[in-house]
Amino acid sequence: MANSNVASCAPEVLHSQVEFASHQNQAGSPETEFRQTPNASFVRKFFNDRLRFPDGQELEIWSFEDETSGRSFPAPLTRAKEGDIVHVLLKPSKQAHTIHHHGIEPDPRNDGVGHSSFEVKGSYTYQFRVQPGEAGNPNKGAAGTYFYHCHVNTVLHVQMGMFGPMIYDPASGRGKAFIDDSVGYDKAAETLLVTWAADPRWHTMNHGAGLDGEDVGLNRFEPTNFYLLGGNLNTPPKTVGVHAVGDILATKPGSGPPGLLRVNNASYFPATIRFGSGKKGDLKAEVFAHDGRPLRDTSKNPSPPVSALTSVLAFGAAERYDVRLRPPDGAISGDTFPVTFEWSHWITQRPLAQRTATVRVI
């Protein structure tokens, strides 16, 4: 609805959502309005550097770092609890960037989508509250696996590396995946795995490539290198550079809570995961959450958590799954099982690459 008074307002006095959405600041160092005391605070500084990948490939990477992470890829983990007020200070350096906390729905000022909020050149502190969960309520709660990314020239900046993982725990903390998770997981066996593919041609482009309408080829994603990134989340990574996933940990059947694998497809192509080698009585994945929300039986009220046991999992770009790793009965410490990741062309479905990781029973 048009409002003749909105257009005459100066940006600094725009306090309603309607006024804000009609008269955004386009760049600079905006103030964080209605600022609250945070429970968790993070710093995300832009960096660009050439990083070496496990296959020897070197690529120009743009990403985020904090005070202790160094120049690592993927960017540092953002982790907090349901109910927390979260502050994320963005320092984008020379060019305009944003941070969009994908799957979290704050007010427009803090959503990080440049065309509907603002782009940041100086600094900005994003503020949001992680929605508290309610047992049996499919519409309440944000505990789960997410990721954050720049939303300026999005398709290019995400491919360049401007993304990182986000995990929100229930108020009780790690060990349960959501508020009424009766199974839980072994904190020593919590693993993040990010599938990512690189088109080296894109890594030669500049910040605003394609934004003036010129055809720079951003509609042609032709990756030549494919990676499994991440690692065990029991302790934070201590080294700079590219974090390739190591062994994925699972626990012996009957020995306690299972291992938890958090998977994020940060590639632009669909991926398929195959657990085990296809033999009878092999490793299985128990899928219990998708895109940051637990699966629930909504035919009932309250809605109980549900899960699905599978050996094959297919997902598209930006999708996330949380799975409990279920080794077969009789598995003992030291047993290993393959987990195979396959990428396919999103139009032709032609297989592009395959990589294998190892699940190790502890």
Residue boundaries of the structural domains of the chain = 23-214+222-361
Kindly tell me if the per-residue pLDDT of 189 is higher than 80: yes
**Residue pLDDT, tens place only, 197-226:** 999 999 999 999 998 889 999 999 999 999
CA–CA gap between residue 15 and residue 6 (Å, rounded): 11
Distance of CA 334 to the CA centre of its chain: 30
Give the length of the chain: 362
CA–CA gap between residue 310 and residue 304 (Å, rounded): 20
* pLDDT computed for residue 317 by the predictor: 94
* pLDDT computed for residue 2 by the predictor: 37
Encoding tokens for residue 9? 């307002």
Question: What is the pLDDT confidence band of residue 13, given thresholds at 50, 70 and 90?
Answer: low
Q: What does pLDDT average to over the chain?
A: 92
- Asked if residue 145 lies in contact with residue 104, where contact means CB atoms within 8 angstroms, the answer is no
**Mean per-residue pLDDT, 107-114:** 90
- pTM, full prediction: 0.92
Secondary-structure percent of the chain, ordered helix, strand, coil, rounded to 5: 10, 40, 55
* pLDDT computed for residue 167 by the predictor: 98
**Residue pLDDT, tens place only, 129-179:** 999 999 999 999 999 999 999 999 999 999 999 999 999 999 999 999 999
**Residue pLDDT, tens place only, 230-281:** 999 998 776 789 999 999 999 999 999 999 999 999 999 999 999 999 888 8
Neighbouring C-alpha atoms within 13 Å toward the C-beta of 14: 24
* pLDDT computed for residue 25 by the predictor: 53
Kindly tell me if the per-residue pLDDT of 334 is higher than 50: yes
Give the homologous superfamily in CATH for domain 23-214+222-361: Cupredoxins -  blue copper proteins (2.60.40.420)
CA–CA gap between residue 335 and residue 19 (Å, rounded): 60
Which amino acid makes up residue 65?
E
Question: What is the pLDDT confidence band of residue 11, given thresholds at 50, 70 and 90?
Answer: very low
